């Protein structure tokens, strides 16, 4: 199972980040949550501080490109194996930084990967 950090986590069931958290848990993955508002979802805390999590396999982004620069150094510092750019989060500048730091990335939908057993 892949320990996943969701950046842009939300407690709103209408948001894709919420749906991704739910689906990741249903598929047996461990999740960490980082968002703008502190809250609890599925008995897990949505953190607002950039905690130095360890052993993160995947970071999945639900934050648009204009709001991503504040996460560049943070994501690189936690050294995930890969970063998933969900639809609408694609960002060549961030992808170049990830490449330079030997971190894999994909432009894909977390929900689709999970539903097709490709996660």
State the CATH number of the domain containing residue 106: 3.40.50.720
Tell me the two tokens of residue 73: 């150094």
Phi first, then psi: give them for residue 40, nearest 5 degrees: -125, 135
pLDDT tens profile 85-102: 999 999 999 999 999 999
pLDDT tens profile 37-56: 999 999 999 999 999 999 99
Q: Could you tell me the pTM of the whole model? A: 0.97
Number of compact structural domains in the chain:
1
Question: What is the domain range of residue 102?
Answer: 4-115
Q: Report the phi/psi class of residue 8: left, alpha or beta, with left for phi > 0 and alpha for psi in -120 to 50.
A: left
């Amino acid at each position: 199972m892949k320990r996943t950090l969701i950046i842009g986590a939300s407690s709103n069931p209408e948001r894709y980040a919420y749906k991704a958290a739910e689906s990741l848990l249903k598929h047996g993955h461990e999740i960490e949550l980082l968002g703008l508002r502190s809250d609890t979802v599925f008995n897990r805390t949505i953190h607002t501080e950039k905690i130095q999590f360890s052993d993160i396999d995947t970071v999945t982004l639900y934050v648009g490109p204009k709001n991503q620069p504040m996460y560049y150094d943070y994501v690189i510092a936690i050294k995930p194996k890969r970063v998933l750019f969900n639809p609408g989060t694609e960002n060549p500048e961030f992808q170049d930084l990830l490449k330079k730091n030997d971190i894999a990335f994909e432009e894909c939908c977390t929900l689709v990967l999970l539903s097709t057993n490709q996660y």
